[in-house]
Amino acid sequence: MGHLNKRLLLLPGLALLIYPLLPGASDYVLHVMTLALIYMVLAMGLNIVPGFCGLLDLGYVGFYGIGAYTAGLLTIHYGLSFWLIVPLAALNGALWGALLGAPTLRLTGDYFAIVTFGFSELVVLFLTNEIWLTRGPLGLPGIQPVTLDLSWLRPDWYFEFYDKAPNFYLAALLVALVFFVMGRMEDSRLGRAWYAIREDPLAAACCGVNILHYKVIAFSISAAIGAMGGCFYARWSMFLSPDMFKFWESFLVLCMVVLGGLGNIKGALVGATVLVCLGEVLREVLAAAGLPPETRFMAYGLIMVLIMRFRPAGLFPAIAASGRANPLLVVLGRRIAAGEFSGEKDDARGTSA
């Protein structure tokens, strides 16, 4: 049953991958699909901090913005290739993540949430006000699209990604890469240390996990992935402005992670898809109703509240994530409910009475 389900799920995924090659592919649909892929990268990146480590990060968009502007400025001023910029932007993101995380991650989650929030607001203020560098509210136009220079293989193999389809595949590649890395990290020593910290910091520390160390690593990796997403976004949209990196975006990405289930990588993918599609639908509906497009965030706010109230683990709870959902404990619970241990129960009652 489980295997069949997985195969069935793969089919629509493959169908979507072939879609850009079809003759009647609409540019709008491709655009939305690429946007969904970018948000998938962001959601997977953000997932590390609240999902794996249990810390609320409200400033994720700050790193996205840092990555995007790093890519934009390096492209415009130095004409560097996209393939070189991605690691540079990721490094820059990770650097800021470490700088912000190292002094603040020793605090409890609430304080950390607020610091990240303040940080992302400062990033937006910086991008708006340092006109000599970023052109401020005017934005940064004229960023070259991604190029792929394979002329050392064959002289005419030089591609510029002006079309929607190559960008879509590039984004899909990025998602696949991040997804693979995430999966490996989750199963590694690193991932287990993060889970331990999330479930019980004290117990983790007692087992020799250096909490601050692992939290800073988590935060830096998350920041690096956000910066990578921003890097692709800059080269894809070819225009940047500080307005694109407001708190709303952080909130939206957080909403995706929460919807999919905190700590669940696949859930983050589904959450990103659902909310990007919902955003497009709401854009049409709200415009028809004569309401400003920002009001779609009301729906997002409501989704967050309702999910936390009725399905705190999201649509797809991560199985190994919460102790209560642990298969071993579930089986044990079932056996206790079935009365398999009734003898011991009677004993317990006897001693307490």
Partner 1 sequence: MLEQQLINGLTLGLIYALIAVGYTMVYGVIQLINFAHGEIYMLGAFFCVTLITAAGLPFYVAMLMAVICCALCGILLDIIAYRPLRRAPRLAALITAIGMSIFLQNLALIIWGSRSKPFPRASLPAYLSEQALVMGQVGLTWLQLFIFAVAIGMMVALFLVIHKTRTGTAMRALAQNRTAAALMGINVNAVISFTFALGSAMGAVAGILVAVYYNTLYPTMGYTAGVKAFAAAVLGGIGSVPGAMVGGVVLGVAEALGAGYVSSLYRDGVAYAVMIAVIVLRPSGILGRAAIDKA
* 8: Cα within 13 Å, side-chain hemisphere: 5
Q: Which of 83, 84, 110, 323 binds partner 1 (CB under 8 A)?
A: 110
Contact 293, 281 (CB under 8 A): no
Q: Which of 33, 71, 303, 321 binds partner 1 (CB under 8 A)?
A: 303
Q: Which of 176, 206, 298, 332 binds partner 1 (CB under 8 A)?
A: 298
User: Where does this chain touch partner 1 (CB under 8 A) — which range of 17-25, 125-133, 161-169, 264-272?
Assistant: 125-133
Q: Does 242 bind partner 1 (CB under 8 A)?
A: no
Which of 187/200 has CB closer to partner 1?
A: 200
Q: Does 113 bind partner 1 (CB under 8 A)?
A: yes
Q: Does 295 bind partner 1 (CB under 8 A)?
A: yes
Instruction: Give min distance, CB of 330 to partner 1, in A.
Output: 19
Q: If you write DSSP's letter for every residue of 134-160 in order, what string do you get?
A: H-GGG-EE-PPPPEEE-TTTSTT-EEE
Q: If you write DSSP's letter for every residue of 18-62 in order, what string do you get?
A: HGGGSTT--HHHHHHHHHHHHHHHHHHHHHIIIIIS----S-HHH
Structure token digits, residue 317: 């709870």
CA dihedral sign of residues 125, 51, 189, 42: negative
Instruction: Give min distance, CB of 101 to partner 1, in A.
Output: 11
Q: Does 27 bind partner 1 (CB under 8 A)?
A: no
240 in helix, strand or coil?
strand
Instruction: Give min distance, CB of 138 to partner 1, in A.
Output: 15
173 in helix, strand or coil?
helix
Instruction: Give min distance, CB of 48 to partner 1, in A.
Output: 14
Instruction: Give min distance, CB of 125 to partner 1, in A.
Output: 5
Contact 250, 243 (CB under 8 A): no
Distances in whole angstroms, Cα of residue 18 to Cα of each of 9, 35, 68: 15, 17, 28
Q: Which of 31, 88, 109, 169 binds partner 1 (CB under 8 A)?
A: 109
Q: Give the residue from 218, 237, 227, 250 showing the smallest Cα distance to 61.
A: 250
Structure token digits, residue 166: 């190559």
Burial of 307: CB neighbours in 10 Å, binned 0-12, 13-18, 19+: buried
Q: Which of 138, 302, 329, 348 binds partner 1 (CB under 8 A)?
A: 302
Q: Does 278 bind partner 1 (CB under 8 A)?
A: no
Site string for partner 1, 145-184 (x = CB under 8 A): ----------------------------------------
Q: Does 294 bind partner 1 (CB under 8 A)?
A: yes
Which of 90/196 has CB closer to partner 1?
A: 196
Q: Does 348 bind partner 1 (CB under 8 A)?
A: no
Which of 33/49 has CB closer to partner 1?
A: 49
Which residues lie closer than 8 Å to 291 by C-beta, 6 or more apart? Answer: none
Which of 295/342 has CB closer to partner 1?
A: 295
Q: Does 119 bind partner 1 (CB under 8 A)?
A: yes
Q: Which of 144, 297, 319, 326 binds partner 1 (CB under 8 A)?
A: 297
Q: What residues are paired with 159 via a beta bridge?
A: 148
CA distance 59 to 248: 10
Give residues in contact with partner 1 (CB under 8 A). Answer: 50, 54, 56, 58, 103-104, 106-111, 113-115, 117-119, 121-122, 125, 128-129, 201-202, 205, 211, 247, 251, 254, 258, 262, 291-292, 294-295, 297-298, 300-305, 308-309, 312
